[in-house]
Amino acid sequence: MSTETDQGYSAAAEVGAVRARRTVWENMWRGLKKAPLTAWFGLIVIFCYCFVAVFAGLLAPYGESQVFDVPYAPWSDEYTFGTDQLGRDMLTRLIYGARNTIGIAVATTLLSFAVGGGLGVLATIQRGWFDQILSRAVDVLMAIPSLIFALMLLSIFGSTILNLIIIIAILDATRVFRLARAVAMNVVVMDYVEAAKLRGEGLGWIMRKEIIPNIMPPLVAEFGLRFCFVFLTISALSFLGVGIQPPTADWGSMVRENATLITYGDITPLLPAGAIALLTVAVNFVVDWFLHKTSGLRDEH
């Protein structure tokens, strides 16, 4: 009898989970149908970039570092966007640059949110000396221009991809810390958080179940903005020669390596620059729509 009851409970739970997932997808689709054209444009662009980044090896006509004996070749059927100063196919470098630049930017942003967001929420719960020490350390780091600080640290520790991710993530985590701490301050004083403390719930449980779910909308919006800033920072560092190093394809270094072509009326260097600008605009369109959607405001008709 108990076995049949347990099976009934498990079947009911499974049906409830399926209905919950279906409801989530239905709500997401309803929200997307009401999204403005700018948000749809941003989502389509982001999807195309992600598709190119994931399937770069299949889409690229040549190898990432494959060199031909025709440097600065013009646009042709063989070389769609010509070749660079070493004779590498520009279209291939653009495609692989999407994987490298976007992949490193996403990894850096995730790490900065894990560090900055976690410490921000923890400082809000602990308060006292722990909060003061972290806040003053963040103030010191934010007082230094991040690009100059990153240049100095990369010059000291070397311009490897791992160092690039760690250094930019730590510098960017200061902004995430300030935001997470500010929004968590409004949640940590709520009655349900105090009730969880009185029940004897652990610190990790309170962070995961009570605080983080209630501060997700501003953090998700900030994630999009932070990704743009990290993406542009990596491109700027690569343009200055201390970011992603050759022979790894990167849009920032591609602009620097082929900048001389602009003086001859060749727009090839503008292609990676345009790719950077288009992705930044697309992400900002999506972030603006998400902020409007989560703010509770209604469109006026």
- Mean pLDDT computed over every residue of the chain: 83
Q: What percent of the chain has pLDDT over 90?
A: 26
Dihedrals phi, psi of 178, to nearest 5 degrees: -60, -45
Q: In the Cβ-directed half-sphere of 99, how many Cα atoms lie within 13 Å?
A: 17
Residues 6+ apart with CB under 8 A from 239: 252, 253, 255, 256
Confidence of residue 24 (pLDDT cuts 50, 70, 90): low
137-185 pLDDT per residue, tens: 998 888 888 888 898 999 899 888 899 999 999 999 999 999 998 888 8
- CA gap 64, 60 in Å, rounded: 8
- CA gap 157, 219 in Å, rounded: 31
Residue 10 has pLDDT above 70, yes or no: no
pTM, to two decimals: 0.81
Helices vs. strands in the chain: H and E counts, helices first: 12, 0
Q: If you ran DSSP here, which 8-state letter would residue 89 be given?
A: B
| Most confident residue range from 22-31, 33-42, 88-97 | 88-97
Token representation of residue 15: 């049906």
Residue 28 has pLDDT above 70, yes or no: no
Q: In this structure, are residues 121 and 180 in contact, taking their beta carbons and an 8 Å threshold?
A: yes
Q: In this structure, are residues 94 and 251 in contact, taking their beta carbons and an 8 Å threshold?
A: yes
- CA gap 138, 171 in Å, rounded: 9
53 to 98, 202, 211, 277: CA distances (angstroms) = 5, 41, 34, 17
Domains and CATH numbers, the chain: 99-249+261-294 (1.10.3720.10)
Q: In this structure, are residues 99 and 53 in contact, taking their beta carbons and an 8 Å threshold?
A: yes
186-205 pLDDT per residue, tens: 888 788 877 887 887 777 78
67 three-class SS: strand
**Mean pLDDT across 38-52:** 93
CA 176, 181, 186, 192 dihedral sign is: positive
164 to 118, 137, 222, 254: CA distances (angstroms) = 21, 21, 21, 18
255-284 pLDDT per residue, tens: 888 888 888 888 888 999 999 999 999 999
Peptide bond into 247 cis (omega under 30): yes
Residue 69 has pLDDT above 60, yes or no: yes
